[in-house]
């Protein structure tokens, strides 16, 4: 059993393959957090909690006269509350009818359920009854009747525990939730580093590591989305932790809207992390009997460094977040029209691109922005989801037929959440735009945002998108969203309920996406928000891949995809081979390098094929063959970061679960004259097995006779893991190499 309960001592112990998580109800009814870390037994770890009188740390009334060493200000708690003696950053803050903000949650009851809980209207980890168990613990404020239902999902084989909270007003008067976090967790002992992932448009998810000092450190977003700027994923780790050793704890917020992660080291060196919806734009009214469901947080622990932690999360996302036909299936190699044409295209030009792509082995053609309404630039037309037949030279169904006749699948770009002032939709429904009545709105990309918190707006988008999807065999859509949200105001909410807007917006977005997923189970949806502005686990529940960044430069992508890999598997990272000079950076990189980097993600192309030479087209055929042959390895295998991009040569490895095949990819940032060789250790192989190490050559017609590394090598799995393999030196700046390692008998 994953969940063990000591009923007599009221101890709850959750076990996974390598970890243990424990709570205990003390004699005042407070649910204490006693332990999370490497697997131990069911013993009472509350014995490690030391009580002593702390100056200016007050005591609950029932303890104040007899036990001045008992204080909520220093006790490790499972769900911390504001206003009743805990002065640290807390998870729950309410405004009661009398204006007070106190909440005091005490244990009521518990229940164990087979399988994994689900959350109505929200994405969450899914698992069957053989893969997971659920623990529910109810806490209640005896003064107001406020009840918190703490949900714990345990997936033992993955070393994953999930957390969520349902708040219910069981009292007689209304209350307002001012903060309702999904997770609060305490560590009594130890120093930590906090690893977060910051960024910007075209430069997302850069790793930042800093010690946790006294005070509150936080990341978050008030932009309406999870944002390019901070990802809703972080790691707390031991100061010496690295890829292969050290204690590491990860927190992945399964949510696509505004969030906050806060870490505090308190007066006596204890550490607390709180994660949930950002409180700045939040205020949720609860009438008697009403409930509020928080989103989910995925927790994992590794005692063997970042690498194992990432692989825990990769498996969880691949198998228990992503759903449907495409969750475990190779995605089609696509050609996206955007960087090849931008807005300047006709139907005939698109068909010619598709014909060229089909000859090279591409499987899916995607028509990006500009196919609808009055849309020859980004100043008009958003919201008018009606094909522009004059521009296309035919109907959309006819264009789709002409392209699918080439043997390709067809995909289409949408930006459903955007609306242009110069659009028929805005002229008909100006109140559907997110803007504060009586104020001039903030513009971004010369567009506004549709109020997706409204059911009528959701219904409009569902009707328009379904009408288009029903009109032709469309296999893929790219769901884009190209600005942050401000001027937050809904014409359907009164003044007392405007604090619900941001969360209702996300719930509306999820409703539309869930409707599409259910109605079109074979449809592949790729998420996008100016690239990686909404790259989060919540979106992956509906979109099994997300465009990783609008920056398609291969060298820039090394850092972006490296940071992303800590919390997300490669099969979720939209990555394309684009033209050079690159449209974002102006950098010129070899075609082979661009392909090697894109193969670390979903793999596709975004360029004008007609502008390529015959040699480049032949190289693309080989690249597609390589990706298709290795796709299971690349997209479903275990992933190891062997060298970071900042070292001069980024190296990563994909290896299958059976340890029979691996692909090691290396990309140099520059040539070093007469430099030392780079050796990396290959992981995940069978120690006793014999392996062939084969260098994939970027040009099969070149003279490799003088190049020593062109020859195959035969080494044992143990030798490859402990002695390693040498990466060939760079011949040119931005050189890429791929070593294909396969189990075989030594000659």
pLDDT in tens, 437-496: 999 999 999 999 999 999 999 999 999 999 999 999 999 999 999 999 999 999 999 999
Candidates 268, 271, 265; CA nearest to 249 is 271
484 CB neighbour count, 10 Å cutoff: 20
Beta-bridge partners for 265? 214, 271
Tell me the C-alpha distance between 538 and 162, whole Å: 13
CA dihedral 369, 371, 374, 378 (to 10 degrees): 10
427: CB partners within 8 A, 6+ apart: none
Beta bridge partners of 476: 411, 524
- β partners of residue 433: 450
pLDDT of residue 229: 98
Q: What pLDDT sits at residue 26?
A: 96
Beta bridge partners of 420: none
Residues of the chain with pLDDT under 50: 701
Distance between CA atoms of 368 and 349, rounded to whole angstroms?
A: 13
Cα–Cα distance, 586 to 79 (Å, whole number) = 50
- Collapse the DSSP code of 218 into the 3-class scheme (helix H, G, I; strand E, B; otherwise coil) and give the result: strand
In a domain, 734, yes or no: yes
Q: Is residue 74 part of a domain?
A: yes
Compute the distance between CA of residue 298 and CA of residue 333 in angstroms, rounded to an integer.
31
Quote the tokens at residue 645. 């991009």
The whole-number pLDDT of residue 707 equals 67
Omega within 30 of 0 (cis) for the link into 332: no
pLDDT value of position 706? 57
CA–CA separation, 216 and 88 (whole Å):
9
Question: Radius of gyration over alpha carbons of the chain, in Å?
Answer: 27
Among the listed residues 149, 142, 81, the one whose alpha carbon sits nearest the alpha carbon of residue 109:
149
Please check whether residue 482 is in contact with residue 418, taking contact to mean a CB–CB distance below 8 angstroms: yes
**Can you say whether the dihedral through the CA atoms of 219, 160, 307, 744 is positive or negative?**
negative
Domain ends where: 291, 320, 349? 320
| 588: in domain | no
H/E segment holding residue 641: strand 638-643
**Chain CA centroid to CA 188, Å:** 29
d(CA 573, CA 32): 39
Asked which of 268, 296, 320 is the last residue of a domain, the reply is 320
174 contacts: CB under 8 Å, gap ≥ 6:
97, 285, 286, 287, 288
**Measured at the alpha carbon of residue 264, what is the angle toward residues 258 and 267, in degrees to the nearest 5?**
155
Helix ranges (DSSP H) in 389-536:
389-392, 396-404, 424-428, 455-471, 501-519
Range of the domain at 690: 643-744
**Long-range contacts: 458-462, Cβ < 8 Å, 24+?**
458/508, 458/511, 458/512, 460/432, 461/385, 461/416, 461/512, 462/512, 462/515, 462/516
For β-strands 334-336 and 248-254, DSSP reports them as unpaired
Q: Specify if 412 maps to a domain.
A: no
From 581, 571, 582, select the one nearest 604 (Cα to Cα): 571
Cα–Cα distance for residue pair 183/255, rounded to 1 Å? 13
Residue 316 and residue 116: Cα distance in Å, rounded? 13
On whether the pTM is more than 0.85, the answer is: yes
Burial pattern 305-324, b for ≥16 Cβ within 10 A else e, equals bbbbbbbbbbbbbbbbbbbb
Cα end-to-end span (Å), the chain? 48
- CATH number where 679 lies: 2.60.40.1180
Q: For residues 459 and 353, what is the distance between their CA atoms, to the nearest angstrom?
A: 35
**Is 711 among the domain residues?**
yes
Write down how long the chain is.
747
What is the DSSP pairing of strand 160-169 with strand 3-6?
unpaired
Cα–Cα distance for residue pair 395/372, rounded to 1 Å: 11
Determine how many CB atoms are found less than 10 A away from the CB of residue 427.
Answer: 11
Element (H, E) at 741: strand 736-744
Burial of 722 (0-12, 13-18, 19+ CB in 10 A): exposed
In this structure, what CATH number is given to the domain that contains residue 161? 2.70.98.60
Distance (Å, rounded) from C-alpha 171 to C-alpha 412?
A: 50
Question: How far apart are the C-alpha atoms of 122 and 295, rounded to whole Å?
Answer: 7
Answer with the one of 263, 290, 320 that is the final residue of a domain. 320
Q: Is residue 184 part of a domain?
A: yes
CB under 8 Å to 303, separation ≥6 — which residues?
A: 18, 37, 38, 246, 247, 248
Q: What is residue 635's predicted lDDT score, i.e. its pLDDT?
A: 93
Residues 6+ apart with CB under 8 A from 565: 310, 639, 641, 652
Residue 298 lies in a domain: yes
289-327 pLDDT, tens digit per residue, is 999 999 999 999 999 999 999 999 999 999 999 999 999
Model pLDDT, residue 699: 56
Count of the separate structural domains present in the chain = 2
Contact 189, 238 (CB under 8 A): no
What does the pLDDT read at residue 684?
A: 97
Within 13 Å of residue 617, how many CA atoms lie on the same side as its CB?
13
Query: Of the candidates 375, 387, 379, 462, which has an alpha carbon nearest to the alpha carbon of residue 417?
Result: 462
Q: What is the three-class DSSP state of 221? A: strand
Task: Give the closest residue to 195 by CA, choosing from 230, 232, 235, 231.
Answer: 235
**How far apart (Å, rounded) are the C-alpha atoms in residues 216 and 266?**
9
Give the active site residues. Answer: 536, 616
Number of alpha carbons in the 13 Å side-chain half-sphere of residue 503: 26
DSSP letter assigned to residue 408: -
Domain membership flag for residue 722: yes
Task: Answer yes or no: are the C-beta atoms of 677 and 696 closer than 8 Å.
Answer: no
């Amino acid at each position: 059993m994953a969940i063990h309960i000591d009923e007599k001592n009221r101890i709850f112990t959750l076990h996974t393959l390598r970890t243990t998580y424990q709570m205990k109800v003390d004699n005042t009814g407070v649910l204490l957090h006693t332990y999370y870390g490497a697997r131990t037994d069911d013993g009472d770890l509350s014995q490690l909690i030391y009580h002593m009188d702390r100056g200016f740390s007050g005591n609950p009334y029932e303890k104040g006269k007899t036990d001045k060493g008992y204080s909520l200000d220093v006790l490790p708690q499972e769900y911390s509350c504001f206003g009743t003696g805990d002065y640290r950053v807390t998870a729950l803050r309410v405004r009661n009818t009398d204006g007070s903000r106190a909440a005091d949650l005490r244990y009521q009851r518990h229940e164990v359920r087979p399988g994994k809980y689900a959350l109505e209207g929200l994405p969450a980890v899914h698992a069957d009854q053989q893969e997971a168990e659920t623990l529910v613990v109810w806490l209640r404020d005896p003064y107001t009747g406020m009840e918190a239902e703490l949900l714990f999902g345990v997936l033992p084989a993955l070393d994953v525990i999930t957390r969520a909270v349902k708040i219910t007003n069981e009292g007689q008067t209304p209350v307002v939730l001012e903060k309702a976090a999904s997770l609060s967790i305490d560590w009594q002992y130890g120093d930590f580093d906090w690893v977060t992932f910051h960024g910007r448009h075209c430069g997302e998810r850069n790793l930042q590591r800093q010690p946790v000092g006294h005070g509150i450190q936080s990341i978050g977003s008030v932009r309406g989305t999870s944002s390019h700027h901070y990802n809703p994923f972080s790691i707390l780790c031991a100061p010496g932790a690295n890829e292969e050793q050290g204690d590491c704890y990860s927190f992945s917020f399964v949510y696509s809207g505004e969030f906050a992660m806060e870490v505090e080291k308190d007066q006596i060196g204890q550490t607390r992390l709180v994660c949930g919806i950002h409180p700045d734009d939040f205020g949720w009214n609860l009438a008697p009997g009403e409930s509020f469901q928080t989103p989910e947080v995925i927790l994992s622990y590794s005692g063997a460094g970042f690498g194992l932690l990432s692989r825990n999360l990769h498996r969880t996302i691949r198998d228990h977040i992503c759903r449907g036909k495409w969750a475990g299936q190779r995605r089609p190699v696509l050609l996206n029209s955007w960087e090849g044409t931008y807005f300047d295209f006709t139907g005939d030009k698109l068909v010619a691109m598709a014909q060229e792509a089909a000859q090279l082995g591409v499987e899916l053609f995607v028509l990006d922005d500009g196919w609808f309404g009055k849309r020859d630039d980004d100043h008009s037309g958003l919201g008018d989801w009606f094909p522009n037949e004059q521009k296309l030279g035919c109907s959309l169904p006819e264009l789709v037929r002409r392209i699918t006749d080439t043997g390709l699948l067809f995909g289409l770009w949408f930006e459903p959440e955007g609306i242009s002032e110069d659009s028929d939709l805005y002229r008909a429904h100006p109140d559907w735009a997110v803007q504060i009545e009586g104020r001039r709105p903030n513009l971004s990309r010369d567009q506004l945002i549709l109020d997706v918190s409204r059911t009528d707006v959701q219904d409009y988008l569902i009707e328009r998108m379904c009408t288009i999807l029903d009109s032709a065999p469309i296999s893929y859509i790219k769901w884009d969203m190209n600005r942050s949200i401000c001027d937050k105001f809904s014409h359907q909410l009164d003044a007392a309920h405007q604090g619900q807007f941001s969360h209702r917006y996300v719930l509306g977005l999820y409703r539309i996406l869930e409707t599409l997923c259910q109605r079109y189970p074979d449809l592949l949806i790729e998420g996008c928000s100016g690239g990686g502005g909404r790259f989060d686990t919540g979106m992956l529940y509906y979109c099994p891949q997300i465009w990783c960044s609008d920056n398609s430069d291969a060298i820039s992508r090394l850092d972006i995809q490296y940071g992303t890999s800590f919390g997300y598997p490669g099969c979720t990272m939209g990555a394309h081979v684009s033209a050079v000079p690159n449209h974002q950076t102006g950098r010129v990189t070899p075609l082979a390098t661009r392909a090697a980097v894109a193969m670390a993600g979903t793999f596709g192309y975004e360029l004008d094929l007609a502008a390529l030479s015959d040699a480049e087209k032949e190289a693309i055929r080989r690249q597609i063959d390589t990706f298709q042959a290795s796709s299971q390895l690349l997209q479903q295998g275990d992933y190891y970061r062997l060298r970071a991009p900042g070292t001069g040569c980024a190296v990563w490895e994909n290896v299958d679960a059976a340890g029979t095949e691996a692909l090691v990819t290396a990309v140099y940032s520059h040539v070093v004259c007469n430099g030392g060789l780079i050796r990396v250790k290959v992981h995940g192989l069978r120690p006793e097995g014999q392996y062939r190490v084969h260098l994939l050559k970027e040009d099969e017609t070149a003279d490799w006779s003088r190049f020593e590394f062109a020859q195959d090598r035969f080494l044992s799995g143990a030798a490859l893991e402990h002695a390693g393999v040498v990466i060939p030196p760079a011949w040119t700046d931005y050189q890429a190499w791929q070593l294909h390692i396969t189990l075989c008998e030594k000659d």
